[in-house]
Chains A and B, each alone.
Chain A
Amino acid sequence: MSKTRTTISRRGLLKGAAATAGVGAITGFPAIVSAEPVTLRYLGTAVNQSREIAEKVKQDLGIIIEYVPVTTDDVTKRVITQPNSFDIVDTEYFSLKKLVPSGNLLGMDAKRIKLADKITPVFTKGEIAGKKIGDQGTAPKKVFYLEGQTSKKFASQPTQWITLIPTVYNADTLGIRPDLIKRPIESWKELLNPEFKGKASILNIPSIGIMDAAMVIEASGIHKYADKGNMTKAEIDLTMKTMIEAKKAGQFRAFWKDFNESVNLMASGETVIQSMWSPAVTKVRSMGVACTYQPLKEGYRAWAAGFALPKTLKGRKLDASYEFINWFLSGWAGAFLNRQGYYSAVLETAKANMEPYEWAYWMEGKAAEKDIKAPDGTVLEKAGAMRDGGSYEARMGGVACWNAIMDENEYMVRKWNEFIAA
């Protein structure tokens, strides 16, 4: 028995040495930790899981990324119920209120994240260009730091332990069909305007849908919330009552739950105004249908996602995960994501990886000098076009609230089911 073992390990060593030499020769990287390439199981929503990123990582670091794509809700479920089924997870900040108390995640060591200091202050301080941005709901700054590496408590001051290293974030608003509406839309309250009876939609993900509903209700002057991301029972009742009345009056054509549903509703003209996600608007537009991601005077509902590691991660996989995260922040991935209309965590490295005209269009809100192309080469916008909502500072600076999990989450879900049944 012991003999076989030695043979195997010796062989492994030899093979390892050869492979390391090989890697070194091809990519010019010095001999890395070990021989066999490390495979990281990357749990997340399909949104960030691009084939291009996996290929580039393999090329640059020799790490194999194995995507485990599930829905937003299922990411949370997997982290809590099967914490050993992944090596790195890309999840949303608002889920942290559930994930961190479960104790299944590891605080990320800021000292091992090379660009930790360069992460945009949107996350670390909740401000942009020195100006505070809306922090209703689960704003990332509220849940960014942990008290200790395995702590189940969020720290109010910066610490060495970070919950999530941001991957992508964005500011969401309503999508409209300008060709069918034919007049300017300026406020969230238009979603419930009887003018669009039978042509409106809202997303059927309770925790996010209710925040869009709250934006509408506040814009209509029905109620002013102390925190739209953390309503009292009475506020939930009020919100759902208004929505139920609208539903019964036939305001909504349908609700949507996933990306493609929202694209189909809008592209087919079933709806002319609805909650929407930025890439969905881009998709509708690339189908040749006019669609605007309409900035509204009450501001945006923002969301943000980031990397976390499971507590059980050890050894080479742990090192590889840090290596991958460092690579992710180093620019190529950031530029890749910015070109899809998302925002990345470390702006300066992303900028260095983008053409100046691309940066001007996506981040500075300037008119495109040349045709704007998606990472796969399809033309998204013709030269001269401008991004809806303008620059990074204008869009992220206009955030009113963040996706959230309320203290009254259970009650909210029950009321939402009531809304669907009404």
Chain B
Amino acid sequence: MSRVASSRAALWQAAPLVVLLAVFFVLPLVLVVVVSVWDYNDYAILPDVTPRNYRDVFEGCLVALPELCVTFKTYLSTLKFCLMVWLSTLLIGFTVAYFLAFHVRSLGWQVVLFLVCTIPFWTSNVIRMISWIPLLGRNGVINQWLQQAGITDAPLEWLLFSDFSVLLAFVHLYTMFMIVPIFNSMTRIDRSLLEAAYDAGASGWQTLWNVVIPLCKPGIVIGSIFVVTIVMGDFVTIGVMGGQQIASIGKIISVQMSYLQFPLAAANAVILLAVVMMIIWAMTRAVDIRREL
């Protein structure tokens, strides 16, 4: 077989995936971008190119400064959750993965404990979220317990429908996405490196900081990409746990879609996509995942 022929064969082999991606990923994305510059009325999308949607998204944003407009405020709030969720899941995820990878010796137990981690995923996302409500509510289990134990006199209102409850639900839902890739990176660390560090006189913390963490970077970045993209686009968790009182870009898009303002929603989606891509770009610049995999 000549080289040309074999490269052609390779192209053919890649073709199904290319077609699949083109039809189900590239095409819809292009459509979203196209629709985002179209006009609309109450019941129809009008194919005239207009900057109106983007202008509407940022309406009053510059004039109002230093006061933040809705769009900026919403992004700020979403980014704040992103950062908090990312830090929490990273800390918890890394610790759990570390324990699983280095402290559990037998493969059998590792598998068992890993499965234990996935148990919450056996029920639906929404149920896992809603089950927090009777626990955290004004007359919920925690408040009743706190009052009975004499720790508080009145129910704590901030437990539910607050930033706290949103954060809690996110961490509960998405820590697994951190654990898996970090654990994966950790199992690939050559144990002789750890022995070498020990032999060279490094303390446990020094080994962790100088050997384990650098070698886990790809796992951390992959997990971070999962968590960040999910939180940036989420509106269900923020809606349910925030009592619908906390804004999110996803919610704005969903409201606009339900009022048939598809072009406006598309413009918001394009902006959100750009923001998320910038974050991912920054993360992958910090660590070259491809080289380290």
Partner-B contacts on A (CB < 8 A): 71, 73-74, 76-77, 80, 97-99, 101-102, 198, 204, 206-207, 247, 252-257, 264, 268-270, 405, 409-410, 413-414, 416-418, 420-421
A-B contact list, 23 entries, CB within 8 Å? A80-B43, A97-B42, A98-B43, A102-B43, A206-B255, A206-B259, A253-B161, A254-B161, A254-B243, A254-B245, A255-B244, A256-B244, A268-B134, A268-B140, A270-B138, A270-B161, A413-B256, A413-B259, A413-B261, A420-B251, A421-B70, A421-B73, A421-B77
Determine if B257 and A247 form an interchain contact, defined as CB atoms under 8 angstroms apart.
no
Partner-A contacts on B (CB < 8 A): 42-44, 56, 59, 70, 73-74, 77, 133-134, 137-140, 157, 160-161, 239, 243-247, 251-252, 255-261
User: Considering residues A71, A97, A98, A270, which has the most beta carbons from chain B within 10 angstroms of its beta carbon?
Assistant: A270
Determine if B70 and A417 form an interchain contact, defined as CB atoms under 8 angstroms apart.
yes
* A contact face: mostly helix, strand, loop, or mixed: helix
* B contact face: mostly helix, strand, loop, or mixed: loop
Determine if B42 and A420 form an interchain contact, defined as CB atoms under 8 angstroms apart.
no
CB distance from A274 to the nearest CB of B (A): 12
Determine which of B140, B245, B259 lies in contact with A420 in the assembled complex, contact meaning CB atoms within 8 Å: B245
CB distance from B35 to the nearest CB of A (A): 12
Determine if B77 and A270 form an interchain contact, defined as CB atoms under 8 angstroms apart.
no
In the complex where A254-B245, A255-B243, A420-B251 touch, is A77 in contact with B42 (Cβ < 8 A)? no
Chain A residues whose CB sits within 8 angstroms of the CB of B255 once the complex forms: 206, 413, 416-417
Determine if B42 and A98 form an interchain contact, defined as CB atoms under 8 angstroms apart.
yes
Docked pose: A21 CA to B138 CA in angstroms:
63
Docked pose: A115 CA to B17 CA in angstroms:
58
Determine if B244 and A254 form an interchain contact, defined as CB atoms under 8 angstroms apart.
yes
Determine if B245 and A255 form an interchain contact, defined as CB atoms under 8 angstroms apart.
yes
Determine if B244 and A257 form an interchain contact, defined as CB atoms under 8 angstroms apart.
yes
Chain A residues whose CB sits within 8 angstroms of the CB of B247 once the complex forms: 417, 420-421
Determine if A417 and B160 form an interchain contact, defined as CB atoms under 8 angstroms apart.
no
Chain A residues whose CB sits within 8 angstroms of the CB of B239 once the complex forms: 257
Determine if B258 and A73 form an interchain contact, defined as CB atoms under 8 angstroms apart.
yes
Docked pose: A206 CA to B160 CA in angstroms:
23
In the complex where A99-B43, A268-B138 touch, is A253 in contact with B259 (Cβ < 8 A)? no
In the complex where A198-B157, A204-B244, A254-B245 touch, is A414 in contact with B258 (Cβ < 8 A)? no
Determine if A101 and B139 form an interchain contact, defined as CB atoms under 8 angstroms apart.
no
| Shortest Cβ-Cβ A-B pairs, 5 listed | A254-B243, A73-B258, A421-B247, A255-B244, A102-B43
Docked pose: A405 CA to B138 CA in angstroms:
36
Chain A residues whose CB sits within 8 angstroms of the CB of B137 once the complex forms: 268-270
Docked pose: A410 CA to B256 CA in angstroms:
9
Chain A residues whose CB sits within 8 angstroms of the CB of B244 once the complex forms: 204, 254-257, 420
